[in-house]
Amino acid sequence: MNRNILEVHGLIKTFGALLASDGVELEVREGETHAIIGPNGAGKTTLIGQLAGELRPDRGEVRFAGEDVTALPAPARARKGLARSFQITSIYPGFTALENVMLAVQAHAGHSFRFWRKARGESVLRAPAERLLEQVGLGARAGAQAGSLAHGEQRALEIAMALAGNPRLLLLDEPVAGMGAEETQRMIAFLSTLKGGKTIILVEHDMDAVFSLADRISVLVYGRIIASGTPAEIRANAEVRRAYLGEEADA
Amino acid sequence: MNPRKRALVLAVGLLLLAAVPPLAAIFNQPFYLDLLRRIMIFAIAAASLNLILGYGGMISFGHAAYLGVGGYAVGVLAHYGVYDGALQWGLAIGASALVALVIGAVSLRTSGVYFIMITLAFTQMLYYLGISIEEFGGDDGMPLAAKSRFPGMDLDDANTFYYVVLAILVLVLVLGHRLVESRFGMVIRAAKSNEARTRAIGFSPYSYRLAAFVIAGGVCGLAGALLVNHTAYLTPEFMNWTRSGELMFMVILGGMGSTAGPVLGAFALLLLEDLLSGWTTHWQLYLGPLLVLSVLFFRRGLAGAIFGKNE
């Protein structure tokens, strides 16, 4: 068995009276694609916020690559190799697609207190960014303003930005949200090319995407992980069927 | 407008500015030399504000503080008999940068309205500090004992001083243009565009913003040193909050986040002010609506209207 790249223990986060994370336990193994599913309001977004470092848990621990990162803010976690995409597309709309990815490359290329050289002309930033755009199928769109790209292209751009700096863990928050059927298939096909090479946490509502990509699945309900296991195990789990999958699993 | 055309327009503008002293001499209109020098000094201050406001999205409503600190650095040294220009201007830049470091370190921990109010509050503190120091004339201020002295350069000569200001303006614009295109510039622009994304790819915006704040403060301090030499009079009015507002107006009117914007804004605002105040004492009554209209109809500022989308 591969070692765990991410371990979450006893994570508790409250917002007023709302217990958004109620003792979350989660283990993600190196190299696997681990899906987190759960009904609306289960606390997925809160959990992701705590994994990425944007939210501090009230209690509990997040360990990344063997290190306690609970107190580290998001930028520091990103530099350690924990990259993310956002549920609602988050890019730089005024910059070109290439500049978007170049910025992500730049974030992993030492400090940016460099004041004189034109960043746009630096091949050490440009070459990897062009490669990443090719990889996600946006090679031809490098010069386009990111804000003018189609929705599916923007999602792909976000993945390219997350891949910059060769992250050890990719945290994808609903990568196919808002996509049409064709775009969804294309994204699933692309993500499956990453499978195995990258460790991926996939938070997703789209069950096609989840069951065709995930090696393991954790089910989050009311701030708790009620089950973790292979897709087959999750399908067969009575509690999960009751809490979440409902008729879809029976069908 | 394509880059070549834009370069041509900028070159023509520069030539026109360079031609002002001989033309003013030919037509015997020294007033215009004085007016344009003043405008260019404010253009330098506005350009420094543009770095943090236009490119960095930091809505500092206290940028006049650095005009004041720079002015006081020169005025106070002169008051005690130190006229050496390198020392005076060096202190103006250094002290302003230091004040910006303190103000920035505190205010950049906030955002939105709080940031605006804190930067304003700091500047008001400095303004009242200036008023309270009787030694330097209190709220009356005091005349500058003598202009800054440089070996082989006489600022009392109007033409010399004019070209010094023009050279500094060009230098500030060129360096500023390089800066915003550099890695550093990309980070502060990115943080303005989308802070959450910027943090998620691994940048902590705070230190970059603070550095930009300090650079802007230092440059504006230099503008303050020029301004006090220009007016030959030091007063706390340098730091009046309406000054901060004027600087913001220049940046917004000229076009935020464009190299030429603050220069155009400084020209438009101060020329209008000069023109309207020549007609009526109630010129502010007419200036206000004009500014409102221009902000409504030139969303990208004058620079956007002249140079098009990319500048």
B202 and A94: CB-CB below 8 Å? no
Give yes or no for a contact between A104 and A164, defined as CB atoms under 8 angstroms apart: yes
Rg (CA), chain B: 19
Say which residue, A32 or A244, is predicted with more confidence: A32
Could you state, in order of their start, the residue ranges of all structural domains in chain A? 1-80+205-251
Cα(A75)–Cα(B202) distance, integer angstroms: 4
Q: Is residue B235 part of a domain?
A: yes
- Tokens 């929705």 found at: A151
- Tabulate helix, strand, coil % of chain B (nearest 5): 80, 5, 20
- Closest CA in chain B for residue A162: B201
Q: Would the pLDDT of B250 be above 70?
A: yes
- Domain of B40, in residue numbers: 20-240
- The percentage of residues in chain B with a pLDDT greater than 90, rounded to a whole number, is 80
Q: Quote the ipTM score.
A: 0.91
SS3 of residue A41 by DSSP: coil
Segment 18-57 of chain A within 8 Å of chain B by CB: 52, 54
DSSP A109-167: SS-----SSBGGG-HHHHHHHHHHHHHTT-GGGTTSBGGGS-HHHHHHHHHHHHHTT--
Cα(A243)–Cα(A231) distance, integer angstroms: 16
What integer is the mean pLDDT of A28-32?
Answer: 95
Contacts of B206 in chain A (CB under 8 A): none
Q: Would the pLDDT of A248 be above 70?
A: no
Q: Would the pLDDT of B311 be above 50?
A: no
Q: Does B109 touch chain A (CB under 8 A)?
A: no
Global pTM value: 0.93
Amino acid at B49: L
CA angle B176/B248/B64 to nearest 5° reads 85
Count of CB atoms situated within 10 Å of the CB of B160: 14
A92 and B203: CB-CB below 8 Å? no
Nearest Cα neighbor of B226 from B292, B163, B132, B277 is B163
> What is the pLDDT at residue A1?
52
Q: Report how many domains make up chain B.
A: 1
User: Model confidence at A240, in pLDDT bands (50, 70, 90)?
Assistant: confident
Contacts of B186 in chain A (CB under 8 A): 99, 102-103, 106, 112, 119
Residues in a beta bridge with B149? B84, B154
| Tokens matching residue A54 | 């944007």
User: Model confidence at A81, in pLDDT bands (50, 70, 90)?
Assistant: very high
Strands (E), B179-277: 233-234
User: Model confidence at A249, in pLDDT bands (50, 70, 90)?
Assistant: very low
Most B CBs within 10 A among A92, A95, A173, hence the mutation to make, goes to A92
pLDDT tens across B296-310, in order?
888 788 888 888 755
Task: Tell me the nearest-neighbour CA distance from B197 into chain A, angstroms.
Answer: 6
Q: Does B194 touch chain A (CB under 8 A)?
A: yes
Superfamily classification of domain A1-80+205-251? P-loop containing nucleotide triphosphate hydrolases (3.40.50.300)
Q: Is residue B269 part of a domain?
A: no
Rounded to the nearest angstrom, the gap between the alpha carbon of residue B239 and the centroid of all alpha carbons in its chain is: 12
pLDDT tens across B173-199, in order?
999 999 999 999 999 999 999 999 999
pLDDT tens across B200-215, in order?
999 999 999 999 999 9
Cα(B131)–Cα(A112) distance, integer angstroms: 41
Segment 55-74 of chain A within 8 Å of chain B by CB: 73-74
Give yes or no for a contact between A29 and A198, defined as CB atoms under 8 angstroms apart: no
Give yes or no for a contact between A122 and A99, defined as CB atoms under 8 angstroms apart: no
> What is the pLDDT at residue A65?
93
Segment 4-63 of chain B within 8 Å of chain A by CB: none
Segment 84-103 of chain A within 8 Å of chain B by CB: 84, 86, 90-95, 99, 102-103
Q: Would the pLDDT of A33 be above 90?
A: yes
A119 and B203: CB-CB below 8 Å? no
